[in-house]
Structure formats: C-alpha cells, structure tokens
Amino acid sequence: MKKIRLIIQREYLSRVKKKSFIIMTLLGPVLMASIWIVPFFLATMSDEKKVIAVVDETGIFTDKFESTDKVFFVYETDLEKAREDLEKEKYSAILSVIKPSYTIPDKAILLYSDKSPGIVTQSYISNAMQTILKNNLLISAHNISKDDYDLINRTSIKLNTEDIRTGEKSYTKIKTYLGIFSGILIYFFIFMFGAQVMRGVIEEKTSRIVEVIVSSVKPFQLMMGKIVGVALVGLTQFALWILLTLSIITTLQFSMPDVFKSPKTEQAFDAGQKIPSADQVQLQKLQHQEVREMISGLFSIDYGLMICMFLFYFLAGYLLYASLFASIGAAVDSEADTQQFMMPITIPLLFAIIMSNFVINNPDGPVAFWLSVIPFTSPIIMMVRIPFGVPYWQLALSMGLLTLGFIATTWMAGKIYRTGILMYGKKTSYAELWKWLRYQ
Amino acid sequence: MYLFSAHNITKNYAAHTALKNVSIDVPDQSIFGLLGPNGAGKTSLIRIINQITAPDEGELYFAGEKLRQEHISLIGYLPEERGLYKKMKVGEQALYLAQLKGVSKADALKKLKFWFEKFDILDWWNKKVEELSKGMQQKIQFIVTILHDPKLLIFDEPFSGFDPINVNLLKEEILNLRNKGATIIFSTHNMSSVEELCDNIALINKSEKILDGKVHEIKNTYKANIFEITYHGHSAIIKNTLPQSFELISDIQKNGISLLQIKIPISATPNDLIQNLLPQIEILSFNEILPTMNDIFIQKVNEQNR
C-alpha cells in the first residue's frame, strides 16, 4: 500500500508541476465562465442607437412610430434631402413610403440604408408598421377603441413547459445545451486523461525504467498507481476549474451588478404597473425572450446533482477506459504504433457522442435507456440525460454496471500490461494480446 | 551455505520454452556468473528471481526460505534494459526508487549523500536526467541498485555503456560489496570479467543449463595439458628427443624469445616434460596453459548446438 501511495504521489506531482497543466487550468475557467456570462451580456448589449428617417407620402405612418432607446424615428418630407443626410451618416436608414401606400405593397415601402440594418431593426420596423396599419384599419374602419386594440394585440400565446414532479419550468433548450455540454466534457476528459496514462506507460517503456520499477513493485501496482495519480490530476483540474469559474463569475457579478440582473427582477419588470405598449412588448419578445429563458434556465439547474453525477461518471468512465489506455501503452514501443489499438476505444466513445443528439430528442426512450446503462457509452449518455431527470433505479443500475465494467476492464488490462511492458522491439498484434491475456 | 537456490525451473511462453529444468545454487558471499549466448534464457531466469514473472514449475529459495514477495527488499537488480525518468531530477528520482525498495526517506537521503559524495557527483543532484550522459546515468542506476543494502545483487550486463575507467571503478565496487557480505549474480557476455570476478558460474544455452561449477575447477576440467616454455637453444634437437606421446604444438621465435607449446599425455606429469627438455635447452619459464572461459564457453555452446 505504501508503495502504491509513493507511485500515486510521483505520478500526481510530476503532472501537476507541468506548464501545460497550469495553462489548461487557467484557460478552462475563462471558457466556462464565458459560457455562463455571454447570455447576460447578450441581454444587455445594446447596439448603437439607430436613427431612421421616415419619408411618408401617405401620412399614415407619420408621427406614429414609437422611438425606443435603440431605434429613433425622425420624420422628413423630402426624400432627396434625407438621402443626402444618410450619406452624411446622420441617419442609419430611410424608410420611404410611396403613395398609394398599402394598396400596392410591392416597392411601395422601401428601406434605404448604407449598411444593411440589423434583422432586429428590420423586424421591429415591419412589426411596427403592421401594428400601425392594423391600428389604423381597426380604429377607423371598425371603430375599435385604442384600449381594446391593445388588448387584442397582447393575446399572444407562449407555451410553458413544466416538470410534473418539481413543478418547475422545464427549460428544455437550456437542458439540451447543458446535457450535450457535459457529455462532451466527459468525452474530452476520458480522452485527455486516458491518453496521459497511455503516454506515461509508453514513457516508462521507452526510457527502460519499467524493469527497474517492477523489480520493486508489482506491475499491477504500477499501473493502478499511475491510473489513480492521473485521476487525481483530473479531479484537481476539475475542482480548480469550478472554483476559478465561480470566482470569475462572482467577481464579475460584483463589479458589474447591472449586467447580471436575476431573471426575477426582469419578470417583475415584465408584469409591473407600467404596461408597455404593444410595440415594445413585441421588441422585447424578439430580443429578450430567448436570452431570458436561457438565464432562468441556468438558474433552474440542480448543480449539486449535476456536479456529483459528473464526478462519478467522469471517474468511473475514466477508470473504465484508462486501464485500456494503459494496456495499449504497454503493448506498443512508441506513440506512433498506438493507432491500430485505439480503434476499439475510440468507437464506443464516438458512437456515444453521435447518439447523444438522438438521445436529446427522446431522453426517456429505449435507446437512451440502453445506451445510458451499457458501461462503454453510459458515462456520456447518462450525463446527457441527467438534466432532463432520470429515474433513480436507472441511475443506480447504470452506476452499478459501470462499476462492474471498470473492475472487469482493469483486470483484463492488468494482464496485458504485465506482459507488454517487458516486451521490446516486437510489433504486437491482436492475436498477441489475446495470448498475453491467457498467460498465467 | 547457499544464499539463493533455484530448483528445476521451467518457464514456457506461448510459442517457446524459455527455461527447461534449470537449477542453480548461489553460495553465500560469492560472485556467481550467469553465462550464455543471447536468447538462451538468462533474462527469463533473472526475472523469475526478481519475481517479475513466475515460473511454471520449480522452486526458489532465498537464504533457505521459500522465495516470498517480502524478499524483494533484500534483492537489488540492475537490468540490462535500464533507464530513468528523463524529465525527473536526479536526486528526486534516486530518492523515489530507493523508497520503492522500502527504504525510509531519511535513510535514503543519508545513504544517497554518501554515495554521491563517494562518486563525486553531488552537483548532479538537481539536474534533470536528460542532461546527463549515458555513462553518468548508469552510475546513478548503480547507486540506486545497491542503496538499500541488498543481500543479493543481480547485475545484468553491468558494464555495457561504461568507459574503461568506470568499468574498473564498478568492478572495485562489486568486489567491495562481496567482501562486505553481499552475494552477486552477474550476467554477462564479457568473459574476461567473468574470470576476473566470478567464483562460480552456470552456463545456459537453448533454455538448458549445460555447465556449472567453480571457475577454477571448470578450467581444470577443461584444460588440455598444454605447457608453454620460453627458452634459449635449438628447437631442432627437441623434436628428435621428445617421446612419441608428447605433442609439439608450436615453436616460434618472437622478439628474440623462443616459445614452445607442448601437449603432454594424461599419464605424464609436467616434471616428465621438464626432464626431457633439460638436457637440450635452457628453460627460462614454464607455464601451464589453462583454457580461457571464452574458449570453454564457445566449445560447450558449439557442442550443444551441433
């Protein structure tokens, strides 16, 4: 036991002290924090204010547009003068409405601009025009009051999904992202740290130190020491990532409180006394709905469960594959020779990543169930499923099978490893590996 | 008293037999040479002694007890395929390897300081291994091998990669270790060092032991009763006066010295030869020619291969 501890210690320290580890540890949180922060910035990021000159021959739209903090309307009568001003960059665009206006739709309404105006601006203008036209029609032709009109206009429907057990909104979209994200993260972690184990074994073999060491400890101890050491490196990295990410987010939240409004205040604003006009509602819907959904989604996730499950599936999945990586390292003489043996490892992992798209669409279906229970794909697929909620018995089954799985692969890999590390200069084949497996 | 014994060891790999019924006995406080051509099975036997692999059949004894896992800390092994972690610092690495053998950290540190001072390499302590030459690395490996004061030391081709000066240094250390009570198993192709160092040998060829025993006894067994004589006088007379059963092998003049080699029959003694020669020539020196280990090695291996 003391010897294994020594090996773990060496494997751990020699990796943690490397420059590449330190760089990865610092870069990771920046990436992860940005995933969290970008939606907030998107929500508040305002484009520069756009000034639109309206040249309306019909008079229907004159003085009817409501300016917001993003789009400001100016009314002109002369198109030529407006064009000149546009060139002087006084306006961002000119909206020209030619008489007779809405009876001849094609080319009757034109938006001139230098740079093509943003899609949000465009849809805002066309929405506003539609509203004004409708307004005009309803009020003048059908005699409906402005209040009634506003009422009609706000009868939009939004489909809210809610989890029947927790009574929370289900935020399918954000869960999809989160599921896929954690699945991919597991995939990367398994490959990254598995490859580290493999490289470590190859290093010991090519530097010929391995025979010195196995005269002091058993080959299996050396292999396990390396695998556990690298796992601890992975956990350290993961813990540092979480810590640093959280500190980046909290620092930013502290220094820029405006940006990180929690969705509750946003909703309060929504339902507040100030009833926004139909146009503003429209604009807000266009710009904010998705982002706001995402933010409240981010707040709705059970991070504790996610992190616990992530740790388990990372560790167990890593253990399942790491010993296989180790046995590949033992079977070859250099990293260039690993290709032929990498296939059986790459295929199930890649398959899981590809299938995760399918699983997302039907997270409780039979495919999702089987793939999240079979040890070789379960670390990835189960992580994809977890944000959507998985019955406890399935979780238990999956975790149990994965544990059995890594015990089995470790036992098998240990046998290949034991023989492989002392074999030099011979090109190994699958038949050879099979023989090694059966040695006493 | 034997420090280490292996009885009837057999080891099979899938396609071939690495060792067939091999037995060796290594006397306490001696240097034991394990000889044999490449691929004979020496390394297989050494790995079995180190418990890196297990034999299919046969028994191993260490100081009279059955060989157990705990004996590992009493054995020091310098393999033929040896190396160090390239990116690790010398001192750190030596400390690590010593601790793996079960030496406490404080103890290892003290002993390492002693040996580094003795070999005058203290300033390497904080260097990375990749900065050292191959010979320098070998010195570190040697130190690490003997640091835990093993009772049994196993050197597999220890001199490969050393320059002559360091080979001498190493030979001295090996003899020192033996004199201080260690037992050494020594595997090599270098026959001159075998004659110089070994008390006993075992010769393995094609997975089987074909010869073993004390070095001087083996040499005596394989001697051809040839004597070398330097002399003054005329050799023509000798040819005529020698009895039929005495065979004149060579008679050369070299650098003003006349050199004669004569093989005598088993029934005769060296004195008979001298008596025969005395009246004819003036004898300057008289030596028996013993076969070198090299000759015996080649002769035995060829015999078996035939």
* DSSP line for B97-132: HHHHTT--HHHHHHHHHHHHHHTT-GGGTTSBGGGS
Could you give all domains of chain B from N- to C-terminal order, each with its CATH number?
2-220 (3.40.50.300), 224-289 (3.30.70.60)
Nearest to B83 among A209, A219, A422 (CB): A209
Mean pLDDT of the residues in chain B: 88
Nearest to A211 among B14, B81, B96 (CB): B81
CATH number listed for the domain at residues A50-153: 3.40.190.10
Contact at CB, B79 and A10, closer than 8 angstroms:
no
d(CA A10, CA A12): 5
The DSSP bridge partners found for residue B262 are B227, B248
Contact at CB, B52 and A211, closer than 8 angstroms:
yes
Q: pTM higher than 0.80 for the full model?
A: no
Q: What is the pLDDT of residues B186-215, one digit of tens each?
A: 898 888 888 888 999 999 988 899 888 998
Q: Residues B241-246: what's their mean pLDDT?
A: 81
**Of A213, A182, A149, A415, residue with least CA distance to A302:** A182
| Ranges of chain A whose pLDDT falls below 70 | 36, 39-48, 100-108, 115-120, 153-171, 257-295, 297-301, 440
pLDDT of residue A294: 65
pLDDT of residue A293: 65
pLDDT of residue A273: 41
ipTM: 0.81
pLDDT of residue A290: 59
Partners of residue A211 in chain B, C-beta under 8 Å? 52, 77, 79, 81-82
Q: What is the pLDDT of residues A166-197, one digit of tens each?
A: 555 556 777 788 888 888 889 988 999 999 99
What is the sign of the dihedral through the CA atoms of B178, B183, B188 and B194? positive
**Which H or E run contains B247?**
strand B247-254
Q: What is the pLDDT of residues B147-183, one digit of tens each?
A: 999 999 999 988 887 888 888 888 999 999 999 999 9
- CATH 3.40.190.10 domain locations along chain A: 50-153
**Which H or E run contains A360?**
helix A339-361
Maximum distance among all alpha carbons in chain A?
98
pLDDT of residue A276: 47
Contact at CB, B79 and A14, closer than 8 angstroms:
no
**Of B55, B91, B37, residue with least CA distance to B210:** B37
pLDDT of residue A272: 40
pLDDT of residue B215: 87
Residue B54, pLDDT > 50, answer: yes
Which residues neighbour B175 within 8 Å (Cβ) at sequence distance 6 or greater?
B31, B197
The DSSP bridge partners found for residue B17 are B12
Q: For chain A, which residues lie within 8 Å of any Cβ of chain B, measuring from their own Cβ?
A: 3, 6-7, 10, 14, 203-204, 207-209, 211-217, 219, 422, 424, 435, 439-440
pLDDT of residue A156: 63
pLDDT of residue A167: 54
pLDDT of residue A320: 93
Q: What is the pLDDT of residues A228-286, one digit of tens each?
A: 999 999 999 888 988 888 888 788 777 776 666 544 444 434 444 444 455 555 555 55
